[in-house]
């Protein structure tokens, strides 16, 4: 039996479980290595077991096709093959949106797809055009046409992909006409007289819908597509990813049920009372690119009750240590005071908590788990976080 020494604080480590395919018993696959971890002294009461959303959805066989999307778009917006559909504020991502756009265009193969992108970046920070160019072009007009831009104006600074051209080619590949423009005002879309509008932003979708609904009524969001049938998610197409060929993997459905089942199985197998969450993208901003990682609707799709309503906050250790040292206290006295202060409740506006911005604990843990697992390239779609609660 190994036990972590007392001088180790919060930490996270990945757990390998093997390849997950549709129909497997995922609870059993995860519980098995965690039972070994418990035997080795690496799993304790109060730990958090984090499971990436991708393997939960894959085990559920939660996939839809481009044709499925096209059929739902037609039905939900009452469109025909020669209709005009507006697509409002999609993020610029091959993985997240290219197949969704293909499905939208497939719904109107003899019609038109009008794509309105925000600028200078999309909702999660992917640059669409350079900020200085945006200022120059919008000085005399309230929207920017695709035709007014040069190829080099639209290259993503990291991937070097021109997403405006990519999206145009995807639409035209389904036979539809493509109209693409940039504007941050959702009501500009109405000038193009679409028969229906799909609000495609992730985090601001309801605010966008509300602004547009003042002048337009036939509107749906990505969350309203793929919410029923054999494969479905309460998140609709939000949080979906490109899969094999013409299929998308949806976000997992009913994750709250899954985490409770896994929690109970771990308790039965190991005797440990852990918390469990299903995580997607972490919530952090890359300081180099300005990209805000969170392309999922939120970092956590489901969690057990012990995580709900908790915030990661506390006293500002370095501030208190500096004050105590300035007052002449010894190292032993400072350590004793710090330990005592940990046990006391503090208001968020107290000086002792200055600089410790309260964050929902599940968001912090999910972001940590996402960094540890990456895009599962480490082969560890399960992450155990210790000592953080």
pLDDT tens-digit profile of 159-174? 889 999 999 999 999 9
How much of the chain exceeds pLDDT 70, in percent? Answer: 91
pLDDT at 389: 82
CATH class (in words) of the domain with range 63-249 = alpha beta
Measured distance CA(63)–CA(336) in Å, rounded: 55
Query: Hey, where are the domains in the chain?
Result: 11-61+253-310+360-386, 63-249, 317-353
Query: Which residue shows structure tokens 């309105």?
Result: 116
Measured distance CA(182)–CA(180) in Å, rounded: 7
Measured distance CA(50)–CA(322) in Å, rounded: 36
Task: Give the helix ranges, DSSP H, for the chain.
Answer: 26-39, 53-59, 66-77, 94-107, 131-137, 163-173, 205-213, 255-270, 317-326, 331-342, 361-373
Model confidence at 269: pLDDT above 50 = yes
What does pLDDT average to over the chain?
A: 90
323 by Cβ neighbours in 10 Å (0-12 / 13-18 / 19+) ranks as: middle
Measured distance CA(69)–CA(253) in Å, rounded: 17
Beta sheet of 84-88, edge-to-edge order: 144-145, 177-182, 112-117, 84-88, 196-199, 219-221
Measured distance CA(35)–CA(213) in Å, rounded: 53
Element (H, E) at 178: strand 177-182
Model confidence at 24: pLDDT above 70 = yes
The β-bridge partners of 247 are: 65
pLDDT, one tens digit per residue, over 96-141 is 999 999 999 999 999 999 999 999 999 999 999 988 888 887 776 7
Q: Cα 155 from chain centroid?
A: 24
CATH class (in words) of the domain with range 11-61+253-310+360-386 = alpha beta
Query: Which residue shows structure tokens 């094999």?
Result: 244
């Amino acid at each position: 039996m190994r036990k972590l020494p007392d001088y180790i604080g919060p930490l996270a480590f990945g757990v390998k479980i093997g390849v997950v395919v549709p129909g497997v018993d995922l609870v059993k696959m995860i519980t098995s290595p965690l039972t070994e971890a418990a035997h080795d002294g690496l799993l304790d009461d109060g730990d958090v077991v984090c499971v990436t959303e991708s393997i939960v959805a894959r085990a559920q066989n939660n996939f839809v096709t481009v044709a499925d999307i096209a059929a739902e778009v037609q039905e939900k917006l009452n469109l025909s093959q020669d209709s005009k559909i507006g697509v409002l504020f999609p993020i610029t991502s091959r993985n997240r949106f290219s197949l969704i756009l293909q499905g939208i265009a497939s719904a109107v193969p003899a019609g038109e797809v009008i794509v309105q992108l925000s600028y200078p970046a999309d909702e999660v920070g992917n640059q669409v055009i350079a900020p200085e160019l945006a200022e120059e072009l919008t000085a005399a007009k309230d929207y920017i046409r695709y035709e007014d831009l040069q190829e080099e104006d639209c290259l993503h600074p990291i991937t070097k992909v021109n997403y405006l051209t990519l999206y145009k080619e995807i639409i035209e590949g389904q036979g539809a006409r493509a109209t693409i423009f940039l504007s941050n005002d959702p009501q500009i879309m109405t000038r193009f007289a679409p028969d229906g509008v799909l609000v495609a932003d992730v985090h601001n979708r309801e605010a966008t819908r509300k602004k547009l609904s003042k002048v337009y009524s036939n509107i749906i969001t990505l969350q309203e597509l793929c919410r029923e049938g054999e494969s479905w998610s309460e998140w609709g197409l939000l949080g979906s990813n490109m899969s094999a060929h013409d299929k998308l993997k949806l976000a997992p459905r009913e994750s709250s049920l899954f985490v409770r089942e896994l929690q109970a199985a771990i308790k039965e197998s190991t005797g440990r009372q852990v918390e469990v969450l299903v995580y997607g993208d972490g919530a952090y901003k890359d300081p180099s690119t300005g990209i805000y990682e969170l392309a999922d609707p939120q970092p956590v799709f489901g969690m057990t009750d012990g995580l709900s309503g908790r915030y990661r906050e506390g006293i500002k250790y370095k501030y208190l240590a500096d004050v105590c040292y300035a007052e002449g206290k010894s190292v032993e006295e400072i350590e004793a005071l710090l330990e005592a202060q940990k046990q006391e409740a503090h208001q968020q506006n107290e000086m002792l908590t200055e600089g410790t911005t309260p964050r929902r604990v599940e968001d912090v843990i999910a972001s940590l788990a996402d960094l540890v697992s990456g895009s599962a390239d480490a082969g560890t779609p399960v992450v155990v976080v210790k000592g953080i609660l």
